[in-house]
Structures are given as C-alpha cells and as structure tokens.
Amino acid sequence: MSKFEYDDFIEKSNENDDLDEETLFIVSQTFKAISDPTRIRILHLLSQKEYSVNEMADKLTMLQSTVSHQLRFLKNLRLVKYRREGTSIYYTCDDKHVMDILQQTIEHARHH
C-alpha cells in the first residue's frame, strides 16, 4: 500500500468506531462463502456468463448434485440468482462487491 492508499484506508476504517453485530455476521459469512474451492470455481465461471446447472457441472467436472448444493448456499447469501427457462435453470452472479473481491483476490494470487 502506498502512503496515500494507507491514509485513505485509515480514514475509511475510522468512519465508524466499531462494526455492528449484523455487519460482522454478514462479512464473516461472505468470506466463508468465498473460502471454498468449489464455490470459488462456480463464482468464477459465473463471472463470465450465465450457466445452467448442467453446463456448470460439465465445465467443472463435478456432480450436478454438488453444484446444486453449492448454488443453494450462494443463493441464500444472495451472491447468485437464477431464472427459469423451460426445464432449465440459469444462474448468474448477483453481487458486484463480492465478485470484485473475488477478482481482486485472484489477481493477488497470480501476482505472487
């Protein structure tokens, strides 16, 4: 971090003295959501385009039931959303913040 970025960071951190319970809970749940390799793969796929459960399972060589299970988890946290088309269900990302965090973290991993 540069001196300028650090000052900006400190200023933002000091906006509130402490985080409230609900915010803390959501922040920790969010990090939990993106701490699992399978969920990271799913979110990374969905950052590129909309996918059906079938297509995701194919792309990631995973069982559909595994993909569905993780999608439910992500849906509960409102990180993904779906639309129905005929018998298929298509998923997309539903939160720009978390996708930005994921993208930043991927870049962080790659610059090492």
Site string for Zn ion, 50-89 (x = CB under 5 A): ----------------------------------------
Residue 108 beta carbon to Zn ion: minimum distance, rounded to whole angstroms: 3
Question: In Å, how far are 18, 40, 105, 106 from 111, measured between CA atoms?
Answer: 32, 18, 10, 9
Q: Is 110 in the site for Zn ion (CB under 5 A)?
A: no
Residue 103 beta carbon to Zn ion: minimum distance, rounded to whole angstroms: 12
Residue 5 beta carbon to Zn ion: minimum distance, rounded to whole angstroms: 12
Q: In what order do the strands lie in the sheet with 80-85?
A: 51-52, 88-93, 80-85
β-pairing verdict for 51-52 and 88-93? antiparallel
Q: Is 108 in the site for Zn ion (CB under 5 A)?
A: yes
Binding site for Zn ion (CB under 5 A): 108
